Structure 1
Amino acid sequence: MDDAITQWINSAAGQSILLDMIMTSVTQYGVPLVVLIVALQWWSQHDRLHVRHTCIAAGLSFFMGLGLNQIILLFVHRVRPYDAGISHLVISPSSDWSFPSDHATATFAIAASFLLRGLQRRGIALLAAAAIVCISRVYVGTHYFTDVLGGAVTGILAAAVVRGLYWEGTRVDRLITGFL
């Protein structure tokens, strides 16, 4: 079923120059754009200290999720779908293993951080961006569908761990959120 879903999402790759350009751009610039959006939240006028706390938590979740992925990659060596003949690659090949997707982990860690801290509107917008980034990764042929699902799980898990460990209003939190 994973192969079938991956092929279905990837089936339009190479058929439309415009769609390939859009999906390639989302794959290339999606994560940096989401990070920029979070960074710009620092100067939010509404509930400033809570938003700043959430930005720090999102950054911690981002790095924790990517660290978790590196540990998983030591044990799970899944070939890329284009190497297995499942997908048509429209970007440069990757040099690491396929599972889990770092793009999915990064974007879902950020979105989950906002959702877990009650910033629902921002969190839903970031969740939509994360879903688009994930679809682009399968579309361009570099990931299986379950690679992005696995990445989403590691991102959400990282956000949940950070939620439990990094509390708002602590001395360290007040020091960080009071900066600038």
Structure 2
Amino acid sequence: MNSFDTAVQVFLTQHAFQSATINHVIRVIAGQASFKGFVLVPVLWWMWFGRSERTGWKREMIIATVASGLASLAAGRLLAASLPFRERPLYDPDLHLNFPSVGLQDAIVRTWSSFPSDHAMLWTAIATGIFLINRRVGTLALLYTAVFICLPRVYLGLHYPTDVLAGMALGMVSTYLATRDAVRVRFAAPILRRMQMFPAPGYTFAFLLSFELITQFDDLLLFVHAGLKVL
């Protein structure tokens, strides 16, 4: 652990909240999808159906944002698997730090590398897309992502600060590139046309994709993990 990570983790574990009630609230926030995607994804739906003079552009941006979020989630898992394994602070006895993470320890998460934070990559990518569409709402979305999604994961020892900062940076870059005109028009515009031509299957798929995005495909990952254990 570098000096920056050390300073932040020591401060949070020794000088931050000492209240059992506050710690419980933070654990709930970190552990429930309601405080992650169930806040940010509905904002995208609200923007999609909101009245605007640039409806086509806005919907292309939303499609590009969702695509960026999916790419960020996949990239986060790929990087975690390909880079040298980094033990999560919560499970590293050499740190000698006490994290208020009772009830959050997960055998599957324990086998995943800490770097980078896929939560930070995914939801920062989504919040960045909201920001590029609407600066005022997007600023709130980015603040919400930092305070209610990223910070609790550091506080509870699920990630080092650098895991989260790297994830946020990668998420921002991913969405910025995906929403550029040269990129967005090539893949988002055709998808939008197909949705307009076939709204019933298009919106059904969008609903299912939103659900999986909110849960970060946890049910599918558990299914795959269980299948691998059987094999």
> Paired residue for 1:119, among 120, 131, 134?
134
Confirm or deny: 8 A CA contact 1:9 1:135 kept in the other structure: no
CA contact (8 A) 1:89 1:142 kept: no
TM-score (norm 1): 0.84
Q: Deviations over 1:146-167 (max 9, x none)?
A: 1100110121121122123113
Distance 1:10 1:64, change over 3 A: farther
Corresponding position of 1:92: 105
Partners of 2:187 and 2:77 in 1: CA distance = 31
Partners of 1:61 and 1:109 within 8 A in 2: yes
After superposing the two structures, state which structure 1 stretch, 19-28 or 148-157, moved more: 19-28
1:121-150: per-residue Cα shift (whole Å, max 9, x none)?
Answer: 121111011111111111122111111001
Q: Which has the higher relative contact order, 1 or 2, with Cα contacts under 8 A spaced 6 or more apart?
A: 1
User: Shift in Å at residue 46 of structure 1?
Assistant: 3.4
Shift of 1:45: 2.3
Tell me which amino acid in the other structure corresponds to 2:92: A
Deviation at 1:92, TM superposition (A): 2.0
The 3-state SS of whatever aligns with 1:167 is: helix
Among residues 79, 89, 94, which one is paired with 2:87 in the alignment?
79
Return the alpha-carbon distance in structure 1 between the equivalents of residues 167 and 187 of structure 2. 30
Unaligned runs of 5+ in 1: none
**Residue equivalent to 2:193:** 175
Q: Which has the larger radius of gyration?
A: 2
Structure 2 gaps of 5+ residues are 204-231
Mean Cα displacement is larger for which, 85-94 or 142-151? Answer: 85-94
Corresponding position: 1:37 with 2:43: yes
Give percent identity, aligned residues only. 24
Q: TM-score, normalised by structure 2?
A: 0.67
More helix by share: 2
Structure 1 CA distance, aligned partners of 2:164 and 2:36?
A: 14
CA contact (8 A) 1:53 1:168 kept: no
Q: More displaced, 141-150 or 30-39? A: 30-39
Work out which of the residue numbers 114, 118, 124 in structure 2 matches 1:102: 118
- Aligned match of 1:138: 154
Note the aligned Cα RMSD (angstroms): 2.6
Q: Distance in 2 between matches of 1:103 and 1:61?
A: 13
Structure 1's 158 and 10: CA in aligned 2 closer, same or farther, altered over 3 A? farther
Change (3 A) 1:157 1:10: farther
